[in-house]
């Protein structure tokens, strides 16, 4: 696995996320929460946007970004188009962070130590890919369950 392969995977699944949001027949359902569902698709999308901007934009590319994680999980007045524009902007962040990455950097120690232990940059990127897809799956399920 190299950073260019990771870019292709992130780009592919970012496109899937965009298609999921477009597939909602009623835009209001993006923010709908029913019993037993903790987060709306809109809030999960905001969470993924914050995650990418922090860990790819800020950490890997050096773009200034101040994350407000708590606001990712509160109801929002953003429209589907607002979310889609934000997601389109992430395509460049993935590319900037991954395409030109020195392959040796994947073996460097990450400054993050989630899960209680230190990890390499490569391991952390795979962790982020799993996290992205976990929430992508939740959004897909949310749409199919609530967007009747």
The string of pLDDT tens digits covering residues 109-124 is 998 877 788 999 999 9
Top-level CATH class of 3-146? mainly alpha
Q: Torsion over CA of 5, 132, 84 and 78, rounded to 10 degrees?
A: -160
- The domains of the chain are located at 3-146
Confidence of residue 105 (pLDDT cuts 50, 70, 90): very high
What average pLDDT does the structure give for the chain? 94
- Half-sphere CA count of 132, side-chain side, radius 13 A: 28
Residue 30 confidence (pLDDT):
97
Q: What is the pTM of this model?
A: 0.94
The 10s digit of each residue's pLDDT in 24-74 is 999 999 999 988 899 999 999 999 999 999 999 988 898 888 899 999 999
Give phi and psi for 24, each to the nearest 5: -65, 125
Rg of the chain's alpha carbons, rounded to an integer?
16
Cα gap 49→55, rounded to integer Å: 10
Answer whether 54's CB lies under 8 Å from 65's CB: yes
Helices vs strands, H then E, count in the chain: 4, 0
107: left (phi over 0), alpha (psi -120 to 50) or beta: alpha
Question: Is the pLDDT at 81 greater than 90, yes or no?
Answer: yes
Question: Angle at Cα 127 formed by Cα 121 and Cα 129, nearest 5°?
Answer: 105
């Amino acid at each position: 696995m190299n950073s260019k392969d990771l870019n292709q995977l992130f780009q592919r699944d970012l496109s899937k996320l965009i298609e999921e949001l477009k597939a909602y027949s009623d835009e209001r359902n993006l923010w709908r929460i029913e019993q037993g569902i903790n987060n709306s698709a809109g809030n999960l999308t905001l969470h993924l946007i914050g995650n990418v901007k922090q860990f790819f934009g800020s950490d890997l590319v050096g773009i200034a970004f101040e994350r407000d994680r708590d606001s990712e999980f509160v109801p929002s007045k953003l429209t589907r188009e607002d979310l889609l524009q934000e997601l389109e902007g992430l395509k460049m962040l993935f590319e900037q962070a991954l395409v030109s990455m020195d392959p040796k950097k994947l073996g460097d120690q990450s400054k993050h130590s989630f899960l209680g232990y230190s990890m390499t940059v490569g391991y952390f990127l795979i962790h982020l890919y799993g996290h992205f897809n976990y929430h992508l799956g939740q959004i897909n399920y949310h749409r199919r369950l609530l967007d009747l």
